A and B are shown apart, each in its own frame.
Chain A
Amino acid sequence: MPRPFTPKAITANALLEGDVIYLSHDGQWVRDLRAARAFTEQDAAEAALATASKDGMVVGAYLTDVKLGEHGPEPTHFREEFRRTGPSNYFHGKQETTNGVAANV
């Protein structure tokens, strides 16, 4: 029996700033994981990744596991949690600049 598919988001780094970004429902790149599109089917996720990887303004796009939370996708691994929020040693980086508000690349 095939294993159930873990929902995925598409994430990458922005070419110009290097910021962590996510592919949204309308195909835009946003900085807030909660605004990312969660793919629940493998074929759709892989097709979207193939398209997203051709975007010259992003670097290193990949699929990342997410769980579906009340406010949108949430990370399942601590690495993605740090990518989502910024460094944990002190309050700076992404958490200082985005305030959780989605922004275009």
Chain B
Amino acid sequence: MYKYNDFDEAFVRERVAQFSGQVARRIDGSLTEDEFRPLRLMNGLYLQLHAYMLRVAIPYGTLNSRQMDQLAYIAETYDRGYGHFTTRQNIQYNWPKLPDVPAILEKLADVEMHAIQTSGNTIRNVTADHFAGAAADEVADPRPVAELIRQWSTDHPEFQFLPRKFKVAVSGATADRAVIKAHDVGIYLREQDGELGAQIIVGGGLGRTPMVGKVLKEWVAFEDLLPYLEATVSVWNLLGRRDNKYKARIKITVHEHGIDDIRARVEERFAQIKPAFGGIDREMLSEIETHFAPPAFRNAPTDEFDRAYETDPVFRSWADTNLSAHKATGYAIATISIKKPGDTPGDASADQMRTLAGLARDFGHDELRISHEQNVILPHVHKSDLPRIHAILKATGLATANVGLASDIIACPGMDYCALATARSIPVAQGIATRVEELGIEHDIGELKIKISGCINACGHHHVGHIGILGLDRAGVENYQITLGGDATETMVIGDRTGPGFAYDEIVPAIERIVETYLALRLNEDETFLEAYRRLGMAPFKAALYPAKEETAPKEKANAA
């Protein structure tokens, strides 16, 4: 993985020193809150409902064991003993105290990490396929490109005061695991006639106006990738609306101007700026690529895996659910679920973080990934080590076999922590996961992506959940709208709203009725929830959700008349 050079090190240390001074001046009264707020946000420090929250960048979701150990140390020393992995592949600390933040940033800098540009109207932390460098279906490793974009976008002088935040995601695989089409710019690395290039997607996003990204350019040669990205952001920086923050994201700019107009402007800008790059971006990418050489995979028998798989049903269940195909023979990608039913999705204790770090160090070529689905991944594990890994996970409450299933729920922090939230989301996730576990039907249900947001900003990606839940404040009461049929992959679809929302104590039973309807109507066990929904449409699910309302509807109409 990427190692800081002298420039990176000096830059991050300087920012820590700057922010330390700013914190000191805020505390002694030299800076007002109005003056301090933009400065703290530039460094990832929010003031939330109950406390400060520090959002730490995990570039393209990649960590090594030393970094994970340090995150555990910070959780234990400066927070309440845990951290929260987010849908942006970052980690958030929910309880830091303002005077401690400079020390936390110093500890992060010690392991080549920071919180820069995790907030504000800048280019945010670049996200990527969490199976990068490991997936069997990968055309190219997205991490070097993501790292190049990270370096280019960090403190980029032209892009520090954009109309709004700007999110870039990169995938180099056939399957889209990085929600590429819901980003301001999404990059699919592709191979064409033996050459690498990229398809550029623009104007995707969720939030109050969900939109599936559109193809800005089918093919951009590798040497043109960074100038083309710069041209795109540059066009939006001038064109994007600053009069209304709800219309400022590039998805609205693309919608208002049309993709053809945006494309023409980007091409024109690209022609202007391309010569200025002069090949330095290619040189940087070549240097960065050396940091991402594959580990020395070992060629060894997998007998231990085969034996455990045959004899241990608990291990077999975990292996069937949590492992994915690796590009190297004898290896697997292991997803560690941070979704034990009843627990908070994405929360890991300091002890659990240390366990994960140890597993990466001892068995995983020192690599860890954080997924946007709020799980942790050991990307390179030899299969013969998996029985031992599973035993260690079991001992620390991390062996939940539910990846991709109904209790593997994405949930934003919601009103339990977030100042913007309009309703809670975590307890809804806890309720659904607990109920599914009680019923013991999770593996029978099969693949089902439930995603929950506690406000319209959609950090929980509810629009693209097979079942999406949006928590709102309706006249001072929590109310939950349901969407069905969303799809977060390369075939992205925004889900359809079922109808009126449900009260807090009604939402878990409502989800249960949806699941029961699916189980009753699916063609066979192989037809997934999403496939069944696409075949059946909304009608049977609506009938299951609103039986009483349908019966009383004519009467209400008659009264109204």
A58 CA / B147 CA spacing, docked (Å): 39
| B50 lies within 8 A of A60 (CB) | no
User: Closest Cβ of chain A: how far from B141's Cβ, in Å?
Assistant: 36
Chain A interface size, under 10 / 10 to 19 / 20 to 34 / 35 or more: 20 to 34
B52 an interface residue at 8 Å Cβ cutoff? yes
B313 an interface residue at 8 Å Cβ cutoff? no
| B476 lies within 8 A of A89 (CB) | no
Number of B residues with CB within 8 Å of any CB on chain A: 28
Q: Which residues from A are CB-within-8-Å of B477?
A: 78
A15 an interface residue at 8 Å Cβ cutoff? yes
User: Closest Cβ of chain A: how far from B288's Cβ, in Å?
Assistant: 38
A19 an interface residue at 8 Å Cβ cutoff? yes
Q: Mark A51-69, 1 if CB is under 8 A from B, else 0.
A: 0000010011000000000
Q: Which residues from B are CB-within-8-Å of A86?
A: 50
B424 an interface residue at 8 Å Cβ cutoff? yes
| A18 lies within 8 A of B97 (CB) | yes
- With contact pairs A17-B98, A56-B29, A93-B95 given, residues A88 and B50 touching in the complex (Cβ less than 8 Å): no
Q: Mark B1-33, 1 if CB is under 8 A from A, else 0.
A: 000000000000000000000000011010011
Nearest 9 CB-CB pairings of A with B:
A87-B416, A18-B51, A18-B52, A89-B426, A56-B29, A89-B344, A89-B416, A17-B97, A59-B33
A92 CA / B80 CA spacing, docked (Å): 9
User: Closest Cβ of chain A: how far from B45's Cβ, in Å?
Assistant: 10
| B98 lies within 8 A of A82 (CB) | no
Majority DSSP secondary structure for residues of A touching B: loop
| B478 lies within 8 A of A88 (CB) | no
Q: Which residues from B are CB-within-8-Å of A89?
A: 344, 416, 424, 426-427, 430
User: Closest Cβ of chain A: how far from B68's Cβ, in Å?
Assistant: 22
A88 CA / B527 CA spacing, docked (Å): 37
Q: List 5 A-B contacts (CB under 8 A).
A: A15-B98, A18-B97, A78-B478, A82-B49, A89-B424
Those of A83-97 within 8 Å (CB) of chain B:
83, 86-90, 92-94
A20 an interface residue at 8 Å Cβ cutoff? yes
Taking Cβ atoms with an 8 Å cutoff, the residues of B that contact A are 26-27, 29, 32-33, 47-52, 80, 95, 97-99, 344, 415-417, 424, 426-427, 430, 473, 476-478
* Pair count A-B, CB < 8 A: 68
Give the nearest-CB partner of A15 in chain B. B98
A79 an interface residue at 8 Å Cβ cutoff? yes
A24 an interface residue at 8 Å Cβ cutoff? no
Q: Which residues from A are CB-within-8-Å of B49?
A: 20, 79, 82-83
Q: Which residues from A are CB-within-8-Å of B430?
A: 89
A59 CA / B34 CA spacing, docked (Å): 10
- With contact pairs A60-B33, A89-B426, A92-B80 given, residues A18 and B476 touching in the complex (Cβ less than 8 Å): no
User: Closest Cβ of chain A: how far from B43's Cβ, in Å?
Assistant: 15
User: Closest Cβ of chain B: how far from A97's Cβ, in Å?
Assistant: 10
Give the nearest-CB partner of B478 in chain A. A78
Which of these, A59, A76, A87, contacts B50 with CB under 8 Å? A87
A59 CA / B280 CA spacing, docked (Å): 45
A88 CA / B478 CA spacing, docked (Å): 14
